[in-house]
């Protein structure tokens, strides 16, 4: 068993709190993604787990062991670095074998395991080469191979794909997912790329300013963001937010510009408690569609820019003085300058507190 538990882990650099009492439990064999903008403390959390950074407070457990005060090598984990961190003066074989040699494994075992690792990452033909003779993608494979031959129960990856070009990243992403399915090690994957996070993670922990703001399975993070921050960070383009006010009288409705939007029955009680208060309406670009006329839950919008992207058209629109993005089917006829009605289902709307930005349930 190699679940991981962060128990209010704290790490402070000068006045910056890089990790603000973070608590997180990761199940054995789970692929957990730490996602957040740069400087949110996700790498610090990973380095604390690896033992490269000491913690200023809290405990870290791997399985049943308290590893908080252990040296990195006693934590029995493997790590893949953003910069690959392959040893330039060693061949690919020696690079992959380095950790095993450090453990003092017998020669034939090292050879067998390096071969296995190289096969898993399709590096068999490059074992005698030096890193300088490899492409960026191959070096990245070497770095991953180094991590997995250790057969550590915990595999850490710190933005391993961010130095690759877009196409290679796409390819490696799928490969990492296949790899995880094969080796089943508990994996923590740090990234600022929300697409990577959505595609790879069993669960995603979204971080901001040293705190985890939401930790859930990818579809919940996408569909039901815990705050304006999460909704605005995830998705390309991100979630749209419109300012509105909850009606003071009658059935609770939200006034956005000239439109009145009725919540679903489930949302009604929460809104009823906020009569007369400002509120934010969050809606994903693909949940908006053109409507022929004004009806229930429509907004009047003015098309500013039309971007045909092949699989869909991305529109930039003005709605009640705010700019939003709308995704429509590629065959939808629309031109910039058009004034249209936008329709949406009430259950696709997420209501957020206008002050704190937190989602209202």
Partner 1 sequence: MSATGGMKRQQRVNSALVNGILIVICILWLVPALGVFVTSFRQSKDIFGSGWWTVLPHKQYVEKGEIKLPDTVDVTGSFEVEGVTTTFEELRNGVTLSDGRQLTWFGNRRTRLIKVAEQQWVGFGANLTLDNYKNVLTGKEIKFKDASGQEILRKGNNLGTAFLNSVAVAVPATIIPILIAAFCAYGFAWLNFPGRKFFFTIVVAMLVVPLQIALVPILQDYTKLNLNGTFLAIWLAHTGFGLPLAIYILFNYISTLPRDILESAFIDGASAFTIFTQLILPLSVPALASFAIFQFLWVWNDYLVALVFLGDQNRVVTSALAAIVGEKGADWHLLTSGAFISMMLPLAVFFALQRFFVRGLTAGSVKG
- For partner 1, the binding residues (CB under 8 A) are 50-52, 72-73, 77-79, 81-89, 98-99, 102-103, 130-134, 136, 139, 146, 150, 163
CB of 113 to partner 1, least distance (A): 13
CB of 198 to partner 1, least distance (A): 25
C-beta of 55 vs 78, nearer to partner 1: 78
CB burial of residue 193 (10 Å; 0-12, 13-18, 19+):
middle
CB of 89 to partner 1, least distance (A): 5
CB of 31 to partner 1, least distance (A): 20
For tokens 């049943």, name the residue. 64
Report the distance separating Cα 187 and Cα 177, nearest Å: 11
C-beta of 139 vs 203, nearer to partner 1: 139
C-beta of 43 vs 194, nearer to partner 1: 43
C-beta of 103 vs 264, nearer to partner 1: 103
Report the distance separating Cα 311 and Cα 139, nearest Å: 33
CB of 184 to partner 1, least distance (A): 20
CB burial of residue 265 (10 Å; 0-12, 13-18, 19+):
exposed
C-beta of 183 vs 245, nearer to partner 1: 183
Looking at residue 232, the DSSP 8-state letter turns out to be H
**Dihedral, 61, 62, 67, 72 alpha carbons, nearest 10:** -140
**Cis bond upstream, residue 237 (ω within 30):** yes
CB of 137 to partner 1, least distance (A): 10
Strand partners, 92: none
Report the distance separating Cα 279 and Cα 272, nearest Å: 12
C-beta of 150 vs 228, nearer to partner 1: 150
**Dihedral, 203, 207, 213, 214 alpha carbons, nearest 10:** -10
C-beta of 162 vs 268, nearer to partner 1: 162
Strand partners, 33: 189, 204
Q: How far is CA 96 from CA 154, 160, 227, 318, in A?
A: 17, 16, 43, 55
CB of 4 to partner 1, least distance (A): 15
């Amino acid at each position: 068993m190699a679940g991981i538990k962060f128990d209010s882990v704290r790490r402070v650099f000068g006045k910056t709190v890089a990790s603000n009492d973070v608590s997180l439990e990761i199940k054995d064999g789970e692929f957990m993604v730490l996602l957040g903008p740069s400087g949110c403390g996700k790498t610090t959390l990973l380095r604390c787990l690896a033992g490269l950074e000491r913690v200023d407070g809290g405990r870290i457990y791997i399985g049943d062991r308290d590893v908080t005060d252990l040296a990195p090598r006693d934590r029995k984990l493997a790590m893949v670095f953003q910069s690959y961190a392959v040893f330039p003066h060693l061949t690919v074989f020696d690079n992959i074998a380095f950790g095993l040699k450090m453990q003092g494994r017998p020669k034939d075992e090292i050879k067998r395991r390096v071969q296995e690792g190289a096969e898993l990452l399709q590096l068999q033909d490059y074992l005698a080469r030096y890193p300088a003779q490899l492409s960026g993608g191959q070096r990245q494979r070497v770095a991953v191979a180094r991590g997995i031959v250790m057969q550590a129960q915990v595999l850490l990856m710190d933005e391993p794909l961010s130095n690759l070009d877009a196409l290679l990243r796409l390819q490696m992403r799928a490969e990492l997912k296949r790899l995880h399915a094969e080796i089943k090690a508990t994996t923590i994957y740090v990234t600022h790329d929300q697409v990577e996070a959505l595609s790879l993670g069993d669960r995603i922990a979204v971080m901001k300013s040293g705190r985890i703001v939401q930790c859930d399975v990818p579809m919940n993070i996408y569909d039901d963001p815990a705050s304006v921050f999460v909704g605005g960070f995830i998705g390309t383009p991100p979630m749209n937010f419109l300012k509105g006010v909850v009606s003071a009288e009658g059935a609770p409705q939200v006034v956005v510009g000239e439109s009145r939007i009725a919540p679903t029955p489930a949302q009604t009680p929460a809104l009823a408690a906020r009569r007369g208060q400002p509120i934010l309406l969050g809606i994903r670009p693909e949940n908006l569609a053109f409507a022929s006329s004004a009806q229930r839950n429509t907004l009047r919008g003015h098309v500013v820019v039309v971007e045909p992207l092949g699989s869909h058209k991305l529109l930039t629109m003005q709605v009640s003085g705010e700019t939003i993005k709308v995704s429509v089917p590629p065959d939808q006829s629309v031109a910039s300058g058009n004034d249209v009605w936008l329709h949406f289902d009430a259950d696709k709307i997420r209501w957020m507190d206008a002050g704190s930005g937190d989602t209202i349930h």
